[in-house]
Structure 1
Amino acid sequence: MKKIIALVCAALVAGTAAAAPGIPKGFLLYEKDAAKKDSDPETNWKVSDSLKTRFALDPCRRGAVGKTGRVAVRTVTFTGVPDFMRVEQVLLYGSEADAERAMTQVRSALSACGSKADAGSSYRYASAAVAGLGDEALKVSGQVYYGKKAGIGGDRSVVVRRANAVLVYMLAGEYAKPAKSDWTGQLRDAARMSAKICGVATCG
């Protein structure tokens, strides 16, 4: 699990203090928490405004998901020892078509790289549509498996598009077999951001 989190963390580039164009400073749900002084050596917050930051959910790990047409990105990442990570990511695109393309690429990556084998285990993804959230939404599980048995280590994400914006809320940690309750917090956060995203997105 540490290897999985390390790979995702390495992909989410640390950013600058300046606000991304189109996303006011403090707009994301966890920016206030990230701004607080943290003296715990086992926890860390990072805020990135880099347009090059990898899409938080990238099953193929090639950095190709959702790259085209970005105009602003903010990513807030929290990591805690030994194996916990929270990611909040808001991506604004130049058009609704670009945002739709990003969602299509997420689905394609989940299909193309839905299972990766590694030394007797595999890491498998599964996804399902979420009704009534934004214009389109997915909930996604990534999970370690030993044969057909779920092992310890996974991530749970909610990805939402509303107008020309895409939102990602992810938790990674010592999950076992996927359960409905695994997405409670991410769905709540995604609903909150979907309700306010039209302050920066071009909603009709």
Structure 2
Amino acid sequence: MLKMILVASVIAGAIPQGFLLYEKDAAKKDRNPETSWTVSRKKTAKSVVNPCDRAALGQAGRTSAKTIVYTAVPDYSKSEQVILYADAASAGAALTAIRSAAASCGSKGYRFSSRAVKLGDAALAVTGQSYHKGKAAVGGERAIVVRRANALIVYTQAGEWGRPAAADFARQTKDAGRMLAKICQVASC
């Protein structure tokens, strides 16, 4: 039955219910007033990695998107986003736009950077970091953005990070690897 749903979803260019890694957790009743989950199936959802905070970043060529965001008070969040594009070139253009935004956006007190990582067909590790008097301060975000065929896979964490370190990307990299193992069920691999 699940296989038939997945086949129908691929034909329709949709991301099926239950496909994302965080969906089970997001569906649970959460009675804690300091935590929340949001789930969006909007194709036009803003990219969760968006250094310039531009609504149009990565929108061209999208055919489907699903976004899950977990937020905990006071300042922790994590997100998962899978976006399907009409073709691999459109997905590649979105990844390039994210890389360009990381290089050009930010402020004196908050900067972005990115570096290539070996995942999927192409991938970036994106760092957002608070700075005070030129030194890394508390607060930032870490993201892994992976392109596989016509899909972008994005995992982020934001919180009270200190100075950026490679270990900051462990969870996002693990989650991206798990999604890469199944993304071809919905992407045109």
- The two structures have a TM-score, normalised by structure 2, of 0.92
Indicate whether 1:139 and 2:128 are aligned.
no
Q: Tell me the distance in 2 between the aligned counterparts of 1:82 and 1:104.
A: 32
RMSD: 1.3
Structure 1, unpaired ranges of 5+: 1-18
Aligned partner of 1:169: which letter? Y
After TM superposition, list the pairs within 5 Å mapping 1:36-51 onto structure 2: 36-51=28-43
The alignment partner of 1:28 has SS state of: coil
Q: Tell me the distance in 2 between the aligned counterparts of 1:33 and 1:21.
A: 24
What does residue 12 of structure 1 align with?
none
- The two structures have a TM-score, normalised by structure 1, of 0.85
What does residue 157 of structure 1 align with?
143
Q: Tell me the distance in 2 between the aligned counterparts of 1:180 and 1:125.
A: 15
Quote how far apart the aligned CAs of 1:64 are: 2.2
Indicate whether 1:116 and 2:102 are aligned.
no
The alignment partner of 2:175 has SS state of: helix
What does residue 77 of structure 2 align with?
85
What does residue 187 of structure 1 align with?
173
Q: Tell me the distance in 2 between the aligned counterparts of 1:83 and 1:46.
A: 16
Q: Deviations over 1:56-115 (max 9, x none)?
A: 1111111221100111000000000110001100000011111011011111111221x3
What does residue 97 of structure 1 align with?
89
The percent identity for this pair of structures is: 52
What does residue 55 of structure 1 align with?
47
Indicate whether 1:127 and 2:135 are aligned.
no
What does residue 166 of structure 1 align with?
152
Quote how far apart the aligned CAs of 1:147 are: 2.4
Runs of 4+ in 1 over 6 A off after TM superposition: none
Q: Tell me the distance in 1 between the aligned counterparts of 2:13 and 2:66.
A: 10
Q: Deviations over 1:140-163 (max 9, x none)?
A: 110000122111110000000000
Quote how far apart the aligned CAs of 1:21 are: 4.9
Which has the higher mean CA deviation after the structures are superposed, 85-94 or 55-64?
Answer: 55-64
What does residue 4 of structure 2 align with?
none
Aligned residues: 179
Q: Deviations over 1:13-55 (max 9, x none)?
A: xxxxxx9952110000000000011111110001000112101
The alignment partner of 2:16 has SS state of: coil
Structure 2, unpaired ranges of 5+: 1-8
